Amino acid sequence: MSSHYKVLAHETFMEQFNDFLDKHTQSIQSLMAQIVGAAKDPLNFGKTMAGVQSSLLRGRIRRYHVSGRSGFRLICLIDTDHQVVMPVFLSSDVRAALKYDDIPWEDYAAQILDDLISERWEKFTVFTIPD
């Protein structure tokens, strides 16, 4: 049985993921390394957002650099109870051009919640990571 966390992505992330694979072929290896690292060492790999004030969120949000500090950003939610890593955001812009206020977070949240409540599991993808 695998020891690493499951990586569960909603289709809102899969769109960003597939778009990234098309546009940034030179960074694919780095992206995969971040996802594998997050799954295999979820509580140490990447950086946690320590300053978040909400007790619900504390320790759950982790950030990863794709293609280095000045490159792209991957954000995952970590669920230790269910041993799940959920990638929720992958930037298509490098850090210097990234404006988080312009990301349609509310649309993403509405779609994910709607699919969860309606149990539309076909909207979710689990990545299989070789041991």
Partner 1 sequence: MKQGSQKHKRAPTCTIPADVFRRIYLYTIIGKFNNGVYGAVRLQKTAYISERNEHVVKPFSYKKHHFGEYSEQVDNIREQLISLGFVKALPLSTSLKFTIEFDGKSYDYVTGGNRYIISDTEIYELCKSVISTSYPKLLKSVEQTIDQYGYKKEEDLLKCCYDFDEFKDKKDEDVIFETDLPDWVEISDISDDVCDELTLMFTPSFINFVTMVTDGFERTTIEWEKVKKVVLPL
Binding site residues, partner 1, CB under 8 A: 6-8, 21, 28, 32, 35-36, 47, 49-54, 56-57, 60-61, 63, 65, 69-70, 73, 75, 77, 79, 82, 84, 86, 88, 95-96, 99-101, 103, 105-106, 108-109, 112-113, 116-117, 119, 121-122, 124-130
Residues pairing with 89 in the sheet: 75
Q: Which of 63, 107, 113 is nearest to 89 (CA)?
A: 63
Of residues 1 and 130, the one with the C-beta less far from partner 1: 130
Helices 28-40, 11-23: axis angle to 10 degrees equals 140
Residue 1 Cβ, how far from partner 1 at the closest point, in Å?
14
Of residues 1 and 96, the one with the C-beta less far from partner 1: 96
Find out whether 94 and 70 touch, Cβ atoms under 8 Å: yes
Residues pairing with 86 in the sheet: 77
Of residues 26 and 119, the one with the C-beta less far from partner 1: 119
User: How many Cβ atoms from other residues are within 10 Å of residue 43's Cβ?
Assistant: 12
